[in-house]
Chains A and B, each alone.
Chain A
């Protein structure tokens, strides 16, 4: 037998095409309700425009979904990121209030986030607790810890360095945009230019096999939660810097859900395995664009959640394995029999 045909590797473009299409539709809707949507002005040394707003407002979720993508690729989930944001914001604020420099404050916040990530990783990888349960602990207790740091107040600060991270610009571009783009690039290259990405996918698909193939799944799992904690910490610092204060009660509230949603809209399976950070980021932008449509269309903001819920349902229905099978059957309709999935056949038959 000759060597197998060498096809081109599945391109990234093909992978993210559905997400790009949805994003296109969302942006088109923005333009429909607000024709100047794409217009970008340069005033007072800063870029202004709705598109810039989408990129800027989307920064926290974009940051969260970078780590969340990796966690979900290992068949896990990190419910604690919102609470970790609150902790990190509180730590950063407390540091500058005590007179430390903004650099130290950011490092301290990252350390706090990293510690939270390690804790989650320890529970999941070493104690073998289900990820959804393990991260629930910090989700519940985390806000309490953040309030402990801020002593229940909204801790305001006026450190220009720290504020710059959330509200400043670099070369006219709002800093949060640069931060999430940079981190996304860093992590994407980090996992794709090394073997990390493949090893993470292997763990997510079949951890037993991966372990038997000599992969150090324990360390990798801990690392993935660590990255998620660090991303959350960065998001927390940006949010705190943006409002010039740490609000332990509301910072990052429910953002874990948005981040998970972004990952799911990005076509990454909650059951782990193949992942694409870029697709998740587009997912985050889709969420933000939808928020923008609602805002620009003048629809009462009350409808925001309803529309978001319907959007999730729509996307989920499209991605549902059942519908997938159905489409597959439609395409494959004809004489050829279905491939044999003994498991699912039995499941269906048993219904």
Chain B
């Protein structure tokens, strides 16, 4: 059933369909499985990180550290696979534990020291990036047969290769959607975003939820780092600078309110695809310079912020009118 709260999601979806239609009409070649497969593969790491960011933003927070955490994960994996004989799967488990713990620590700092998420995750951003530098300032290549195996996994449709990492992103989104809407944790995230004070009064475990949210974001940034290392076969401490901005942009374009409380994980998926589409279009065009990506994404961001502003405003107006109306219309007097 379609409800008014789904409107931002529908608009994002419509934007995507429209954008794709425009692209396809200009370059019919874009209407191929190959383009779709590449869209998924190329944006896999960003998409996974954006799922974590969606939870953070839904709760009314922000996480600036994810770009650095992705880079750290890549370097960590590259160095550990170079210097030890640990199996990559063990390394994955290790790094995921590390990044999840890192996120949880940031969440705990935010909650217990009552500090703004912006500043705490800024410190986290410096810390993770610094740790990556300390491990290695050079780009470290990853050569391991297990990596080759993983990279070689794909599902072929009409000559297009749907790779493992794209599938992993889709899976992450599915798990994210279910977590957001079908678990108590997800509901608590929305509750925090709706108002911490009220959530507290209604018995939401604020400490546990806050720590959990940033742990999820940190953990998904770690997963994103693993995917990024599979994508590039290297770990480089200067990589993925500013990915947090792209993730925030995807979340907002996906229809989530940056002030928290309203939005959908599924929206973020289409936000990612829209951003990927812009890039693909510019590649197809060939004459457009790469900086147009930034400008167009900035413009889209602005458009969606304005749209949200308008929707919030309209909702407030409706609520004010509802207040004026007597309640008897919908309620039986006893």
Chain A interface (Cβ within 8 Å of chain B)?
Answer: 77, 127-130, 132-134, 136-145, 147-148, 151-152, 248, 253, 257, 260-261, 264, 270, 300-310, 312-313, 316-317, 320-323, 347, 350-351
Any A CB within 8 A of the CB of B1: no
Q: In the bound complex, do residue B115 and residue A261 qualify as a contact, i.e. CB atoms below 8 Å apart?
A: no
Any A CB within 8 A of the CB of B195: no
The chain A residue with its CB closest to the CB of B257 is: A133
B residues 124-156 with Cβ under 8 Å of A?
124-127, 129-131, 133-134, 137
Q: In the bound complex, do residue A305 and residue B130 qualify as a contact, i.e. CB atoms below 8 Å apart?
A: yes
Alpha-carbon gap, A134 to B258, bound state (A)? 10
Q: In the bound complex, do residue B298 and residue A128 qualify as a contact, i.e. CB atoms below 8 Å apart?
A: no
Q: In the bound complex, do residue B127 and residue A139 qualify as a contact, i.e. CB atoms below 8 Å apart?
A: no
Q: In the bound complex, do residue B302 and residue A137 qualify as a contact, i.e. CB atoms below 8 Å apart?
A: yes
The chain B residue with its CB closest to the CB of A142 is: B298
The chain B residue with its CB closest to the CB of A261 is: B122
Contacts of B116 in A (CB 8 A): 270
Any A CB within 8 A of the CB of B5: no
Q: In the bound complex, do residue A144 and residue B134 qualify as a contact, i.e. CB atoms below 8 Å apart?
A: no
B residues 263-298 with Cβ under 8 Å of A?
289-295, 297-298
A/B interface sample: 27 pairs, CB < 8 A: A77-B118, A132-B62, A137-B301, A137-B302, A137-B305, A141-B294, A141-B302, A143-B291, A144-B291, A144-B293, A145-B295, A147-B291, A147-B294, A152-B291, A260-B122, A270-B118, A270-B119, A302-B134, A304-B130, A305-B127, A305-B133, A306-B126, A306-B131, A309-B127, A312-B123, A316-B115, A316-B123
Contacts of A302 in B (CB 8 A): 130, 133-134, 137
Any A CB within 8 A of the CB of B27: no
Contacts of B259 in A (CB 8 A): 130, 133
Residues of B contacting A: mostly: helix
Q: In the bound complex, do residue A313 and residue B245 qualify as a contact, i.e. CB atoms below 8 Å apart?
A: no
Q: Closest CB of chain A to B251's CB: distance in Å?
A: 11
Inter-chain residue pair count (beta carbon < 8 A)? 132
Q: Closest CB of chain B to A169's CB: distance in Å?
A: 33
Any A CB within 8 A of the CB of B306: yes
Q: In the bound complex, do residue A147 and residue B289 qualify as a contact, i.e. CB atoms below 8 Å apart?
A: yes
Alpha-carbon gap, A139 to B206, bound state (A)? 32
Contacts A139-B245, A309-B124, A347-B200 given; indicate if A144 touches B292 (C-beta within 8 A): yes
Contacts of A270 in B (CB 8 A): 116, 118-119
Tally of B interface residues using CB under 8 Å:
49
Q: Closest CB of chain A to B192's CB: distance in Å?
A: 13
Q: Closest CB of chain A to B75's CB: distance in Å?
A: 11
Any A CB within 8 A of the CB of B317: no
Bits for B46-70, please: 1 = Cβ < 8 Å to A, else 0.
Answer: 0000000000000000100000000
Alpha-carbon gap, A145 to B127, bound state (A)? 30
Alpha-carbon gap, A305 to B237, bound state (A)? 12
Q: Closest CB of chain B to A257's CB: distance in Å?
A: 6
Instruction: Please name the 5 residue pairs, one residue from A and one from B, whose CB atoms are nearest each other, closest first.
Output: A141-B298, A144-B294, A305-B130, A306-B130, A147-B291
Any A CB within 8 A of the CB of B32: no
Q: In the bound complex, do residue A127 and residue B309 qualify as a contact, i.e. CB atoms below 8 Å apart?
A: yes
Q: In the bound complex, do residue A140 and residue B123 qualify as a contact, i.e. CB atoms below 8 Å apart?
A: no
Question: When the two chains form the complex, which single residue of A134, A144, A300 contacts B305, counting CB atoms closer than 8 Å?
Answer: A134
Any A CB within 8 A of the CB of B333: no
Q: In the bound complex, do residue B301 and residue A136 qualify as a contact, i.e. CB atoms below 8 Å apart?
A: yes
Q: Closest CB of chain A to B235's CB: distance in Å?
A: 14
Q: In the bound complex, do residue B115 and residue A312 qualify as a contact, i.e. CB atoms below 8 Å apart?
A: no
Alpha-carbon gap, A343 to B281, bound state (A)? 53
Interface centre among B294, B299, B306 (most CB of A within 10 A): B294
Contacts A129-B305, A151-B289, A350-B200 given; indicate if A309 touches B258 (C-beta within 8 A): no
Q: In the bound complex, do residue B113 and residue A312 qualify as a contact, i.e. CB atoms below 8 Å apart?
A: no
The chain A residue with its CB closest to the CB of B245 is: A140
Contacts of A304 in B (CB 8 A): 130, 133
Q: Closest CB of chain A to B224's CB: distance in Å?
A: 19
Contacts A141-B295, A144-B291 given; indicate if A308 touches B130 (C-beta within 8 A): yes
Alpha-carbon gap, A23 to B258, bound state (A)? 36
Q: In the bound complex, do residue B119 and residue A316 qualify as a contact, i.e. CB atoms below 8 Å apart?
A: yes
Alpha-carbon gap, A132 to B305, bound state (A)? 12
Any A CB within 8 A of the CB of B230: no
Contacts of B207 in A (CB 8 A): 351
Any A CB within 8 A of the CB of B248: yes
Contacts of A317 in B (CB 8 A): 113
Any A CB within 8 A of the CB of B201: yes
The chain A residue with its CB closest to the CB of B248 is: A136
Contacts of B305 in A (CB 8 A): 129, 133-134, 137
Contacts of A139 in B (CB 8 A): 245
Alpha-carbon gap, A127 to B124, bound state (A)? 32
Known: A129-B309, A307-B130, A322-B114. 18 other contacts (CB 8 A): A128-B309, A133-B259, A133-B305, A136-B245, A136-B258, A138-B298, A139-B245, A140-B245, A140-B249, A140-B298, A141-B299, A147-B289, A148-B292, A260-B119, A305-B130, A305-B133, A309-B125, A320-B115
